[in-house]
Amino acid sequence: MAKFDLMRRLTLNTGGKILLLVMDGVGGLPREQGGPTELEAAHTPNLDRLAAEGSLGLSIPVARGIAPGSGPAHLALFGYDPLVYEIGRGVLEATGIGLEVDPGDVAIRGNFCTVDADGLITDRRAGRISTEEGAKRIELLKQISLPGVKIDIEIAKEYRFAMVLRGAGLNGAIADTDPQATGVPPLPVQALDPAAEKTAELVTQWLAEAKKVLKGHEPANMCTLRGFAEEPGLPKYSDVYKLKAACVAVYPMYKGVARLVGMDVIQTTAHDTTADEFNKVAEIWEDYDFVFCHIKYTDSRGEDGDFDAKVEVIEGVDQALPILTALNPDVMIVTGDHSTPATYKAHSWHPVPTLLWAPATHMTDRATAYGERECMTGALGHFQATDLMPLGLAHAKRLTKYGA
């Protein structure tokens, strides 16, 4: 039986409340042989109390050895096998910069490029112009309109932007126009399915207009489009898990993925601190069965390669944690979407330290603190990240028995 059919069959719409706290990239590595990881070096009395009482384990985001991006890693935490459910690149880029993508929309990634007088590409990245320069050109592109289509377009970073087309009868089965080479013109817009012919014509029209408005704005005097994708139609939390779910996150990408699985996205600002986020969770706690709270900066400091700064972020989370524990969740899960060891300065494949605390149902193990090596001894063992939701639901008494 397919996993979500099993979930639909077994989930109850009664039971306990679940709080999922994700510290992005929380897993780490020792800085020196025999030394502690970031998580082990951090002073985290609140997390350690939960760890001593509850069950620890190590979560495998996608498969052993696979370092995931944030999109697939969060899909896995939410219970969706990222090797089965792929979010198209256009949708990831668009949601990543805060553009909403709804069913029927087509999301696209764009690159500014440089073309010569003959229309041949001389630089596929337009000299890697600054984000400010990119944003100026986005204002020009915003002037373009298409019949029967609403266009949302925003700069992502430097020469990269994202665009969402909204309207009736759109279809994302369209090939990239980026030829992946210089000395040639951008590829014509090509429908990969007859149903996408109309959309391909509209995009052709848009690119012709783009060429006109960008003319003279060298080095970014043209653009290519890639990763055409529709809203992925993921099964929704309310359907598969019978959960009313909300997301508290500050980065658009995480809000975007949460929205795609049917969570309500709570209003936040980019300046919200961890404590601000936790207070938002507290404000909405009564209204939801499940709250996903996302902390970004563990990952950012790992990517920076700043071991000490990552330790500080973790300690900050621990200090603010009483705001969450005061809510008395029936199930509290603390984990990461993947590891981002400061020594590695990038997402890695190392399994992610995970803490499951559910006083009415958890199995206490011998682990006494929240850290990589304690997690190796825990009650949960090594498990696939996609198993986290069934575990959370079970511990919240929201799953009935399978078979008689």
In the complex, the smallest distance separating the C-beta of residue 129 from a copy of itself, rounded to whole angstroms, is 21
- Interaction between residue 158 and a copy of itself (CB under 8 A): no
Which stretch in 3-11, 209-217, 218-226, 281-289 sits in contact with a copy of itself by CB under 8 A?
3-11
Please identify, using beta-carbon distances, which residue of 6 and 282 lies nearer to a copy of itself: 6
Shortest distance (Å) from residue 50 CB to a copy of itself: 12
By beta-carbon proximity to a copy of itself, the closer residue of 149 and 388 is 388
Unique residue bearing structure tokens 């929380």: 26
Torsion angle defined by CA atoms of residues 314, 318, 319 and 323, in that order, rounded to the nearest 10 degrees: 130
Half-sphere exposure of 255 (CA within 13 A, CB side): 20
- Within 316-355, which residues bind a copy of itself (CB under 8 A)? 344, 346-351
Q: Determine, following the binding rule CB under 8 A, whether residue 44 of this chain makes contact with a copy of itself.
A: no
195 close to 171: Cβ distance less than 8 angstroms? yes
Out of 70, 221, 274, 298, which residue is the one contacting a copy of itself (CB under 8 A)? Answer: 70
> Of 258 and 393, which has the nearer Cβ to a copy of itself?
393
Which residue from 1, 74, 8, 85 is spatially nearest to 240, judged by alpha carbons? Answer: 8
Instruction: Please tell me whether residue 363 adopts helix, strand or coil conformation.
Output: coil
Whether the CB-CB separation of 151 and 138 falls below 8 Å is answered with no
121 vs 369, beta carbon nearer a copy of itself: 369
> How far is 40 from 111, CA to CA, in rounded Å?
42
> According to CB under 8 A, which one of 23, 47, 62, 200 is a site residue for a copy of itself?
62
Q: Which of 341, 311, 335, 361 is nearest to 67 (CA)?
A: 341
In this structure, which amino acid lies at residue 10?
L
DSSP output for 304-348:
HT-HHHHHHHHHHHHHHTHHHHTT--SEEEEE-SSB--TTTTS-B
Residue 304, beta-bridge partner list: none
Nearest distance from C-beta of residue 100 to a copy of itself, angstroms:
18
d(CA 69, CA 295): 16
If the CB atoms of residues 69 and 127 are measured against a copy of itself, the closer one turns out to be 69
How long, in residues, is the chain? Answer: 404
Q: Hey, which residues between 76 and 135 contact a copy of itself (CB under 8 A)? A: 82-84, 86-87, 89, 92-93, 96
Rule CB under 8 A: say whether 296 interacts with a copy of itself. Answer: no
* Residue 8 interacts with a copy of itself (CB under 8 A): yes or no: no
Size of the site for a copy of itself (CB under 8 A): 67
Q: Which is nearer to a copy of itself, 180 or 364 (CB)?
A: 364
Applying CB under 8 A, the residues found at the interface with a copy of itself are 1, 3, 6, 10, 29-30, 33-34, 53, 58, 62-72, 82-84, 86-87, 89, 92-93, 96, 344, 346-351, 359, 361, 363-366, 372-373, 376-379, 381-384, 387, 389-395, 399-404
